[in-house]
């Protein structure tokens, strides 16, 4: 396969795979997990989401999430150094979409909400109000992560078609 004959092509392939997997993870939260949690009584939904937030911090997720970010950062640098290549623009778009719309959004919007949720006592009367706000804002930002990761994967796939 001529496409896999150079490291740039492998980098693009890894970036496409990572962003695609992250898009799938974010997607399942947006369309299934958060909807299911919203149907539970707030005290139960809070506790389950607290457990999810603790469980997702594991080596497999870390390697996928941060490994994809690293691949995307390197992809952006490579694209900027090869802007004359027609596929470089797609690589630049893909890397930028993931780094801003997934990584940055996670750290600026989703993680702070997760940290606040970790401190909530699910048995208090105020927790229901917090939970309703959490569900709407966290999920809205998760939609952004889903769309950004999907756009990144598509851009990397298109870039791969240019056979750097």
Quick: pLDDT tens for 92-131: 999 999 999 999 999 999 999 999 999 999 999 999 999 9
Residue 6: predicted pLDDT: 87
Range(s) of the domain holding residue 34: 2-160
Question: Number of H helices and number of E strands within the chain?
Answer: 8, 0
CB burial of residue 81 (10 Å; 0-12, 13-18, 19+):
exposed
Question: What does DSSP assign to residue 79?
Answer: H
Angle CA(141)–CA(109)–CA(143) in degrees, nearest 5? 10
Distance of alpha carbon 139 from alpha carbon 30, whole angstroms: 6
Answer positive or negative: Cα dihedral of 137, 32, 21, 150: negative
Distance of alpha carbon 38 from alpha carbon 41, whole angstroms: 8
In the chain, the number of structural domains is 1
Distance of alpha carbon 164 from alpha carbon 151, whole angstroms: 20
Distance of alpha carbon 86 from alpha carbon 47, whole angstroms: 49
pLDDT confidence band for 163 (50 / 70 / 90)? low
pLDDT mean across residues, the chain:
95
Residue 162: predicted pLDDT: 87
Quick: pLDDT tens for 54-71: 999 999 999 999 999 999
Q: How many residues in the chain? A: 164
Residue 164: predicted pLDDT: 59
Residue 4: predicted pLDDT: 45
Quick: pLDDT tens for 7-49: 999 999 999 999 999 999 999 999 999 999 999 999 999 999 9
What pTM, to 2 d.p., does this model score?
0.93
Residue 1: predicted pLDDT: 43
């Amino acid at each position: 396969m001529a496409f896999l004959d150079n490291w740039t092509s492998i980098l693009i392939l890894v970036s496409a795979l990572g962003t695609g997997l992250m898009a799938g993870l974010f997607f399942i939260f947006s369309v299934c997990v958060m909807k299911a949690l919203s149907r539970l009584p707030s005290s139960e939904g809070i506790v389950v989401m607290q457990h999810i937030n603790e469980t997702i911090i594991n080596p497999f997720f870390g390697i996928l999430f941060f490994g994809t970010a690293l691949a995307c950062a390197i992809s952006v640098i490579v694209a900027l150094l090869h802007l004359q290549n027609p596929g470089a623009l797609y690589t630049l778009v893909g890397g930028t979409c993931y780094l801003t719309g997934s990584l940055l959004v996670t750290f600026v919007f989703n993680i702070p909400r997760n940290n606040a949720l970790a401190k909530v006592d699910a048995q208090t009367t105020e927790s229901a109000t917090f939970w309703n706000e959490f569900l709407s804002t966290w999920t809205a930002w998760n939609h952004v992560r889903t769309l950004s990761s999907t756009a990144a994967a598509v851009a990397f796939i298109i870039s791969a078609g240019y056979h750097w």
